[in-house]
Amino acid sequence: MSQGADWNVPSRRMGAPPEPARRESASLADILERVLDKGIVIAGDIQINLLDIELLTIKIRLLIASVDRAKEMGIDWWEHDPTLSSGARDVLDENERLRRRVGELESGRDAEREPERERGGEDGS
Partner 1 sequence: MVGSVPLADFGEEPLRAHLEDLPWLERAARAHHRVIGRAAGYGQVIPLRFATIYHDDGRVRTMLQERRDDLTATLARVAGRTEWGVKAYVDPRAFLPDPGEEGPSGGDTPGTAYLLRRRAQRDDKETAHLRATERAEEIHTALTALAAATAAHPPQDARLAAYEGWMVLNNSYLVPDDRTEEFTASVTGLGERYPDVDLELSGPWPPYSFTAPPEREEAP
Q: Is 3 in the site for partner 1 (CB under 8 A)?
A: yes
Distance between CA 62 and CA 51 in Å, rounded?
A: 10
Q: Is 73 in the site for partner 1 (CB under 8 A)?
A: no
By C-alpha distance, which of 96, 113, 106, 86 is closest to 52? 96
Please give the backbone phi and psi of residue 67, each rounded to the nearest 5 degrees, phi first: -60, -45
Distance between CA 45 and CA 118 in Å, rounded?
A: 22
Question: Judged by CB under 8 A, which of 18, 35, 114, 121 binds partner 1?
Answer: 35
Q: Is 93 in the site for partner 1 (CB under 8 A)?
A: no
Q: Which residues of this chain interact with partner 1, rule CB under 8 A?
A: 1-5, 7-8, 11-17, 20, 24, 26-38, 42-48, 50, 53-57, 59-60, 62-64, 67-68, 71, 76-82, 85, 125
